[in-house]
C-alpha cells in the first residue's frame, strides 16, 4: 500500500517543481507515494474568498479562519478510507527530528496543513488535534516550505524509494552521530590529499576511522547529540 500525502495549502503551485523532481518524483512514479492537493481557498464562502481575518483582541496580521480549514480537512479526508495523521506546520510545534520522520514514514496517510499569515485560530488546533511540527527555530512566511522539508525527509525512508542507496540512510543520524567525511576522485586536489586509510583497502581500518571521525565531529559540532549518544551508549553497554 502506498503512502498518501494530502497537502492543504493556499499555494499548491509552490509544490509543483518539488514533487516533479528527483526523489519525491521517483517515489510517486514507483507508486510508493501519492500526493493530493486541496486548496483551502476553494472552501471560502464569501465573495472575497476569504480564508483569514483580523485577530480578536487586536494586533498585527491575519489569522486563518476555522470554517475554511475544517471544511478543507473534512473534504480531503472523505476522499480516502485510510485514517490520516494530521500535521500542522508551525513554528509553535515540536521541532522535527529523524525519529519523528521515521515514525511518520510508517503511516498509511499523512495530511499536512500549511498555513500563511500570522497563524491559525486556536480552535483549529483544538478541534482537529493535529501534530504540530516546526522545522526549526526561525519563522517562514508560511508552512509550505516546511511541508516540503517534511515530505522530502519522509519519502526517502519509504522502502523501495532509494533502492541501492538505502544503506546510506542507516548510517546517518539514525544512531545519533553525524556523518564522517567523504572523498572521491582525484586522490589529490589543489594539494589536498585524501586520508591514506581510505586508499588502504583495509575495510576494518576504514570502518574504525569513520566511526572515530563521526564521534569527533558530533562532539565538536553538536554537543547536544553527543550527550544523547553517550547516554544511549551507556544504556547499551553498561
Ligand atoms: N511556518 C512558519 N515557520 C515555520 C517553521 N519554522 N516550521 C514549520 N512551519 C512554519
Q: Does residue 62's CB lie within 6 angstroms of at least one atom of ligand 1?
A: no
Q: Does residue 112's CB lie within 6 angstroms of at least one atom of ligand 1?
A: no
pLDDT tens for 3-51 read 999 999 999 999 999 999 999 999 999 999 999 999 999 999 999 999 9
Are 177 and 214 in contact, with CB atoms under 8 Å apart?
Answer: yes
70: nearest Cα among 55, 92, 46, 88:
88
Q: 217 pLDDT exceeds 50?
A: yes
Q: Does residue 146's CB lie within 6 angstroms of at least one atom of ligand 1?
A: yes
pLDDT at 173: 77
pLDDT tens for 121-174 read 999 999 999 999 999 999 999 999 999 999 999 999 999 999 876 655 555 677
Instruction: Transcribe 78-100 into DSSP letters.
Output: HT-SSPPEEEEEEEEEEEP-HHH
87: nearest Cα among 182, 154, 156:
154
pLDDT tens for 126-136 read 999 999 999 99
Give me the chain's average pLDDT, please. 94
Ligand 1 probe mutation, 88, 92, 135, 137, most atoms within 8 A of CB = 135
> 144 CA to middle of ligand 1, Å?
8
- Which residues, in sequence order, are bridge partners of residue 110? 5, 85
Q: Does residue 218's CB lie within 6 angstroms of at least one atom of ligand 1?
A: no
pLDDT at 185: 98
Which residue's CA is the closest to the ligand 1 atom numbered 5? 91
Q: Does residue 139's CB lie within 6 angstroms of at least one atom of ligand 1?
A: yes
pLDDT at 230: 96
Which residue's CA is the closest to the ligand 1 atom numbered 4? 91
Q: Which residue has the higher pLDDT, 57 or 232?
A: 57
Which of the 8 DSSP states describes residue 142?
B
Amino acid at each position: 500500500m502506498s503512502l498518501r500525502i494530502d497537502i492543504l495549502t493556499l499555494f499548491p503551485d509552490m509544490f509543483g517543481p518539488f514533487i516533479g523532481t528527483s526523489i519525491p518524483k521517483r517515489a510517486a512514479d514507483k507508486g510508493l507515494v501519492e500526493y493530493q492537493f486541496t486548496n483551502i481557498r476553494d472552501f471560502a464562502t464569501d465573495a472575497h474568498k476569504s480564508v483569514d481575518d483580523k485577530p480578536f483582541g487586536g494586533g498585527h496580521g491575519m489569522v486563518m479562519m476555522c470554517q475554511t480549514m475544517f471544511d478543507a480537512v473534512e473534504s480531503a479526508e472523505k476522499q480516502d478510507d485510510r485514517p490520516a495523521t494530521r500535521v500542522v506546520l508551525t513554528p509553535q510545534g515540536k521541532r522535527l527530528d529523524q525519529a519523528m520522520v521515521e515514525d511518520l514514514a510508517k503511516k498509511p496517510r499523512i495530511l499536512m496543513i500549511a498555513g500563511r499569515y500570522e497563524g491559525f485560530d486556536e480552535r483549529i488546533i483544538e478541534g482537529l488535534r493535529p501534530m504540530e511540527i516546526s522545522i526549526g527555530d526561525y519563522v517562514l512566511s508560511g508552512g509550505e516550505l516546511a511541508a516540503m522539508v517534511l515530505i522530502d525527509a519522509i519519502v526517502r525512508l519509504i522502502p523501495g524509494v532509494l533502492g541501492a542507496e538505502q544503506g546510506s540512510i542507516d548510517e546517518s543520524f539514525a544512531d545519533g552521530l553525524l556523518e564522517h567525511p567523504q572523498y572521491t576522485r582525484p586522490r589529490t586536489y589543489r594539494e589536498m590529499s585524501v586520508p591514506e586509510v581510505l586508499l588502504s583497502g583495509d575495510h576494518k581500518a576504514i570502518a574504525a576511522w569513520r566511526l572515530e571521525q563521526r564521534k569527533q565531529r558530533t562532539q565538536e559540532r553538536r554537543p547536544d547529540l553527543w550527550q544523547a549518544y553517550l547516554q544511549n551508549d551507556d544504556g547499551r553497554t553498561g
